[in-house]
Structure 1
Amino acid sequence: MAAPVDPAAPAGSRTVPWIAMYHSVGDCSDDPYRITVTPDRLDRQLTWLGRRGLRGVSVADLLAAPDRTDLVGLTFDDGYADFVTAALPVLRRHGFGATLFVLPGRLGGDNAWDPLGPRKPLLTADGIREAARAGVEIGSHGLTHVDLTRADDLRLKSEIVESRAVLEEITGTDVGGFCYPYGTLDQRAVDAVREAGYRYACAIDPGPVDSPLALPRVHIGQNDTAVRLFLKHRLHRLRRRPVEGV
């Protein structure tokens, strides 16, 4: 991980990492949660980044870079099976990296935590290994996609610690990244992630928590055309608090 920045430095001098949050890539005709982008839309969005001299990378690579001004972290939550069939070919075409946050407690299952909308299949262990072999960073999204702020101590530890152990067994590599389900977190969850040995964790808008274990992200959806992407990229430093230590 990159060396910590000086907390006393003026806020404007810090490089606030821009991390885009995706989920499913496929048919978005029935998408009440707005978590899906079509492959064509993803291709246009990545083209937009490339034309502006921006390169999509994994969160680990983003945080390790001494200069992040031309880098964008690309994250895909939940580990949908369509990542391998639809998202990965688009990423390869652009030469971009990404981080895939998966649920090892639901291998080959579906998005049962979403009461509305279609059932979307999740990656199997073989699918996760295929993504890892393609150079995609694999991170944990917990075991089963539960709100960690409502979990008891035993469930909290299981979701955070066991998910990492299972993923390291599947991939044969170190797993250093975590993603809070639903983007919800509190100090207890952050402390548990730290104790489990993760080097960073992604949220959505963590508010007052300033830590590499509570990185803010920007949701990217089907409606994000060039104008919306421009505004999200330009305004993220104003909308998001600088995160200390990254």
Structure 2
Amino acid sequence: MPVSADHGPSTAPRPDRLRRRPGPPPWVAMYHSVGDCSDDPYRVTVSPGRLDRQLGWLRRRGLRGVGVHELLAARARGEGQGLVGLTFDDGYADFLTHALPLLRRHACSATLFVLPGRLGGENAWDPDGPRKPLLSAEGIRRAAAEGVEIGSHGLTHVDLTRTDDALLRAEVRDSRAALREVTGADVHGFCYPYGRLDRRAVGAVRDAGYSYACATGPGDLCGLFALPRVHIGERDTAWRLRLKQLLRRHSVEGV
């Protein structure tokens, strides 16, 4: 899709206003597709039944899933107890049909990281496994209208650590501008494709005006622009979720 230039000065909250107060680190869960798991070589799909049980487990423990921007803002106010970040990467169309009704049922929300350069396309970056449709612009607007935070996953899902400077800027800055046009709202969060990042990618995200960015597991970089997340999959039953909750150790204090 054609991408316009950025829309002038950012209106996103300053990152220092989202900096967490002392306390345990945030727990941010990472999901992808919600649907049929029978052909899932990358283990990125969770069945609707499993997601239902996982969200139920959170609620029984007095926890509620929210988008990452809401989580960080609450923590900055000292009010984040009982909140867990829920994220869904890639913007699969099954988010609307399978994930969103379950989020509603359990009174949860989430952040959906999408690819505005592949609207209505498919997961062409995966060499193996089934082709899965991605959300259209209208689908993204429907999710946003339900209170889901929309974040950028780049334009086309490329490894930002292997791009030249021009492509890096386009993937990071232009994707934010494109999503503003799609949703009519500001875009606070970015998610690094494949979870791969380096200081150059982090700098590009910061310079583009985002207020936070999500990685995958803990790495050499940490902070608001390299938030670690916990991968959640079909095999994650209650006891595995509890173990993953106990193992999270990393802070969001600044990069």
Q: Which residue of 2 aligns with 1:10?
A: none
Deviation at 1:242? 1.6
Letter aligned with residue 234 of structure 2: Q
- Secondary structure of the residue aligned to 2:200 is helix
Q: Find the residue that maps to 2:102 and give its secondary structure.
A: helix
Aligned residue in 2 for 1:9: none
Match of 1:4 among 7, 15, 19: 19
CA distance in 1, matches of 2:95, 2:83: 21
Mapped contact 1:15–1:69 kept (Cα < 8 A): no
DSSP-derived class of the 1:74 partner = strand
8 Å CA contact 1:15, 1:68 repeated in 2? no
Residue in structure 1 matched with residue 35 of structure 2 by the alignment: 26
| Paired residue secondary structure (1:62) | helix
Instruction: Supply the distance in 1 between the matched residues of 2:87 and 2:163 (Cα, whole angstroms).
Output: 24
Aligned to 2:188: 176
- TM-score normalised by the chain length of structure 1: 0.93
1:107 correspondence with 2:122: no
Which position in structure 2 is the counterpart of 1:97?
A: 109
Amino acid at match of 2:233: G
What is the CA-CA distance between 1:245 and the residue it aligns to? 4.1
Counterpart pick for 2:205 among 173, 193, 196: 193
Structure 1 match to 2:69: 60
CA distance in structure 2 between the aligned counterparts of 1:5 and 1:88, rounded to whole angstroms: 28
Aligned to 1:130: 142
CA RMSD after TM alignment: 1.4
Q: Report Cα offsets for 1:171-228 as digits up to 9, x if no partner.
A: 0000010000000000000000000000000001242313201000000000000000
Gapped regions of structure 1 (runs ≥ 5): 7-12
C-alpha displacement at 1:124, in angstroms?
0.3
Correspondence for 2:99 among 87, 112, 116:
87
Aligned-residue offset at 1:235: 1.4
Contact between 1:78 and 1:103, CA under 8 Å: does it hold in 2?
Answer: yes
Provide the aligned length of Structure 1 versus Structure 2. Answer: 237
| Of 61-70 and 15-24, the range deviating more from structure 2 | 61-70
Query: What is the DSSP-based 3-state SS (H/G/I as helix, E as strand, rest coil) of the residue aligned with 1:190?
Result: helix
Whether the aligned pair in 2 keeps the contact of 1:140 and 1:175 (CA below 8 Å) is: yes
Cα-to-partner distance string for 1:66-91 (whole Å, 9 max, x where unaligned): 23331100000000000011100000
Task: Report % sequence identity.
Answer: 70
- Counterpart of 1:222 in structure 2: which amino acid? E
What per-residue deviation string (whole Å, max 9, x for no partner) do you get for residues 113-151 of structure 1?
Answer: 000000000000000000000000000000000000000
Please say if residues 140 and 179 of structure 1, whose CA atoms lie closer than 8 Å, have aligned partners that are also in contact.
Answer: yes
SS in 1 for 2:65: strand
Cα distance in 2 between the residues matched to 1:5 and 1:131: 27
In 2: Cα distance, 1:245 partner to 1:185 partner: 16
Contact preservation (8 Å) 1:201, 1:215: yes
SS of residue paired to 2:185: coil
SS in 2 for 1:138: strand
Separation (CA, whole Å) in 1 of partners of 2:254 and 2:100: 31
Conserved? CA contact 1:20–1:217, under 8 Å: yes
Q: Stretches of 4+ moved more than 4 A in 1? A: none
Give the aligned residue type for 1:4.
Answer: R
2: distance between equivalents of 1:199 and 1:171? 18
Cross-structure match for 2:60: 51
**Mapped partners of 1:83, 1:103: distance in 2:** 14
